[in-house]
Structure 1
Amino acid sequence: MLAAGALTAGVLLTGCGGESDDAVDPGEIAPITEAVDDAIQMESQLRGVISRLMIDCLTDAGFDVHAPDLTGDPDAWMAEEGFEPLVGSDPPGSRDIPTVAEAEERGVYVGLTLDPDREPDDDDGAWGYDPNDPFFAMPLEYQEEYQLARYGEEYLEAIAPGGDPGGELPVEGGCSGEVNVAVTEATGLENGKIEWPEVMGHSDAHLAEFESETLLSARNAWSSCVEDRGHPYFEFSRGSVDLWNYGQMFYKDSSYYSDSSESYPFDPPTGAPWEFDEAYPKEIAFAVDVAECADDSGLRETMTTEWNRTMSQAAMAHQEAIFAWHDSLEEALEAVQSLLTE
């Protein structure tokens, strides 16, 4: 069964240099989109099967409470890494420019981080650590013995604080080593890992294709609109526009802002910096101007249209590599699943 959209904003991007107004037929792109979505889902399933093999090995070793990275949802990595549809992902630079609603709520996200009354973030669960998980509720001795059975003594010593692996890390031992060997032998691939096609990476080539005359014209209209409202004429660099550092200049208590005139290509607002209570409303007003200009100039809509065109053309140009990647994952998944029945 095919998964719903699952691809990052930076995928399928290279090898499409040059500008083109040719639209891609949705009927032609659909099989490629389905292949990508299916491949991503199979990669999740592959991770899940390998985790299951690891759990079985550790259970045989006498452990019945397992680490959350093995018991968790194998699809969770897609949400954590911000995967988006093949066609329809956020264009480069779009997240730099808030919507009007976002601007009214958070500005350009500077003041929220500097607010002296802001509640501290709840970091529980950060970096995969959840103190409420049953594994971390187990005695420390259990956790240490578990990790020893999972990775082996040599590997654990090498990654321990102050450890000196002497260059490359040793091969994982314990259950991890056993599973890796079994998966490698079953698939013919080291640890069952299949590299994504090169086209599924961020590069200068996709930016060149994305930055069409239509997009550049819309950017100019947006920058001029923002300038007409009393702010700098902002330039884009590698698909992004730096509004955050300009927002830093509003605040007297910002530790990020440098007074060096060579640090940024724009001057601070007249009268800046201000204390937080005065600076934050000004940041909000600036962000609203930015957002309204993105709508009035048509930039927001143009970014989406041009990005979808770029993604569609890239997918068409590299469909052979995409289908080959899909088929390799399918074969690897079938091979690894067979290990569960042995």
Structure 2
Amino acid sequence: MRRLVIPALTGAFVLSACSETETEVTEADIAAIEASLVNGSALAWELTQAETRVASMCMQDEGFTVHDTNRLHGSMIPNRFEGFESPYARVPAVEQAEKLGFGTWVWATDTEAAQAMREDMDYLAFTAEDQGWTSGDEDDSYAEWQAMDAEYQEAWTVAFVGAERAAYDAAMSEAFEEADTDAEIEDIDLGEEPPFGGCELQTIEIVYGEPVHSEFEDGEGYWSRPDTESPLTWIGDGDLYAELSADHATQEEDFLVCVEERGYGEWEFDEFGWLPTGSYLDQMYGGAEATEGVPPLTDEAEDADPVAYEFAMALDFAECAEDAGLREGTDEAWARMSVAQVIDRESEVYAWEKQIEEYLSNAQDYLAGQ
């Protein structure tokens, strides 16, 4: 989610690691950078929605009322960031476990309780970053789009991206469909992708000023929107977790031993510090097969009511985390380690937030004028 796992950028990590002197991180630094990232994330989602409205207005002027909504905003959804939390925060606290379980049942079942929980503020807060930024309207819009005939969709595409780009995309899709081997796919060469056109170009010019032309390593060029990627992509989650895990090895071991002693088998944290609780429970709710890294269901789980089992399991995990001290000070440690990765580029963090705000203002000013 721009969505779901934040990638590790090795260059950014090395930049910090190779500094001659390490910049001291203060509580004020953490608070300021965290606030900027949280606000920038929210603004980026507002920008996505505003850009969608600008593009849809242009397409309506062209006579189209049903849209491929995902394309209206460049098929990009920004990452959602609500604040620094260590990976251990994915293990619910006791109070959360008693009310929410792991949260898997909320969408794995369709009971009245599950439907009500989907609107519960505690549940939404607990799952916010995992769910990301979402709009309920987009699913309905996509269903409408899928119901349109091919002639409408082709005409819409030409109006949105421009005739030249639409023809290029169609030829590329056809070439991929006809390719039977990886070698044939690698040999596909239709030349450089044409520039943006149609309502897509108009939207980019209104919101961002102009598109960006860049080049791949082989010299072939391509067009894109200006980069709005969050500075969180400078942080290597895997690297940070390795450090966090080393500092809290005893707490991790005590937690995992506790979980095993309570009858859940052998568990381990993955390279990002996550436990595959969702995949484990999917074996109960959806009959999924156990995959690598996911413990098989216990005999008790095989015969249990899935929701009741989830709540009991979540509470056991929460109590084990509490007894092991897994959550004690780890969010604060995670925040400090994260900020240490970006502190030498602090001004760029604030500049990113300001740039997102300016793009959003461009879109809002245009919409207000219409």
Per the alignment, residue 339 of structure 2 pairs with 312
Show the 5 A alignment for 1:226-241: 226-238=259-271, 239-241=273-275
**Cα-to-partner distance string for 1:90-115 (whole Å, 9 max, x where unaligned):** 322432x2344554567557778887
Is 1:254 matched with 2:287? yes
Alignment-mate amino acid for residue 313 of structure 1:
A
Are 1:218 and 1:297, in contact at CA under 8 Å, matched by a contact in 2? yes
- Bigger Cα Rg: 1
Show the 5 A alignment for 1:1-342: 10=6, 15=13, 24-37=25-38, 39-40=40-41, 43=44, 47=48, 50-51=51-52, 54-55=55-56, 57-62=58-63, 65=65, 67=67, 69=69, 77=77, 81=79, 83-85=80-82, 88-95=83-90, 97-100=91-94, 103-104=97-98, 128-130=138-140, 145-156=155-166, 158-159=169-170, 163-164=174-175, 167=189, 170-180=194-204, 186=210, 191-194=224-227, 196=229, 197=231, 199-213=233-247, 215-238=248-271, 239-244=273-278, 254-257=287-290, 269=298, 271=299, 274-277=302-305, 281-282=308-309, 284-326=311-353
Alignment-mate amino acid for residue 163 of structure 1:
E
Distance (Å, rounded) in 1 between the aligned partners of 2:84 and 2:8: 11
Per the alignment, residue 3 of structure 1 pairs with none
**Higher helix fraction (1 or 2):** 2
Measured after TM superposition, the shift of residue 41 of structure 1 is 5.7
**Cα-to-partner distance string for 1:124-163 (whole Å, 9 max, x where unaligned):** x879331599989999976664443222345445359963
SS in 2 for 1:211: helix
* Alpha-carbon spacing, 1:31–1:104, altered in 2? closer, same or farther (3 Å): closer
Measured after TM superposition, the shift of residue 294 of structure 1 is 1.2
**What percent of counterpart residues are identical?**
22
Measured after TM superposition, the shift of residue 319 of structure 1 is 1.4
TM-score (norm 1): 0.62
Alignment-mate amino acid for residue 175 of structure 1:
C
Are 2:255 and 2:326, in contact at CA under 8 Å, matched by a contact in 1? yes
Alignment-mate amino acid for residue 175 of structure 2:
D
Distance (Å, rounded) in 1 between the aligned partners of 2:282 and 2:49: 44
Distance (Å, rounded) in 2 between the aligned partners of 1:293 and 1:30: 30
SS in 1 for 2:28: helix
Where structure 2 has 5 or more consecutive residues not aligned to the other structure, the ranges are 119-134, 177-187, 214-222
SS in 2 for 1:254: coil
* Alpha-carbon spacing, 1:139–1:308, altered in 2? closer, same or farther (3 Å): same
Measured after TM superposition, the shift of residue 314 of structure 1 is 2.8
Distance (Å, rounded) in 1 between the aligned partners of 2:59 and 2:340: 47
**Cα-to-partner distance string for 1:196-242 (whole Å, 9 max, x where unaligned):** 347534443222333342x2222122123223334435332211223
Q: Once superposed, what is the RMSD of the aligned Cα atoms?
A: 5.5
Measured after TM superposition, the shift of residue 313 of structure 1 is 2.6
TM-score (norm 2): 0.59
Where structure 1 has 5 or more consecutive residues not aligned to the other structure, the ranges are 1-6
Distance (Å, rounded) in 1 between the aligned partners of 2:281 and 2:149: 48
Number of residue pairs the alignment of both structures matches: 314
Are 1:183 and 1:191, in contact at CA under 8 Å, matched by a contact in 2? no
